[in-house]
Structure formats: C-alpha cells, structure tokens
Amino acid sequence: MEKEDANAASKRVPKMTAKAQEERLNQLTGTRKAKLGHLTRQMREIENLLMDAGNVDTVYECIE
C-alpha cells in the first residue's frame, strides 16, 4: 500500500501551454453556454405552458 502511494506521488503532471489553457477555457465556456441555452429554452417552454390555466396541473405533474 505504501509503495502505491509513493508511486502515485512521483508521477509527473504535465503543464499546459498558454494556448492549450486558452483552448480548454474556450471549450468549457462553450459547453456552459450550450447547457445554459438548453435550460433557458426549457424554462421558456414551461412559462408558456403555465400561461394557460389548463396546462398548470400538467406542468406541475411533469416537474415532480
């Protein structure tokens, strides 16, 4: 067990270049924007359904 811990501690962690860091940041930002857009679309759809009194119960059933 101690040997495994010693080996794990000695592993080399490569440093990312500035360009690689920038690309990774752009990728994460794009992913975040896409997920936020998906949630926004769902929220707007739910809000439109809640405008009609007949849909209120249906929406609440789907949310639970």
Mean pLDDT, the chain, as a whole number?
83
Q: Is the model more confident about 4 or about 53? A: 53
Q: 3-class SS at 16?
A: coil
User: pLDDT tens, 5-33?
Assistant: 555 667 888 898 999 999 999 999 999 99
Q: Output the pTM of the full model.
A: 0.58
The full set of domain ranges for the chain reads 18-63
Distance CA 55, CA 57 (A): 6
Residue with the larger pLDDT of the pair 42 and 51: 42
| Confidence band for 62, pLDDT divided at 50, 70 and 90 | confident
Mean pLDDT value across residues 52-63: 74
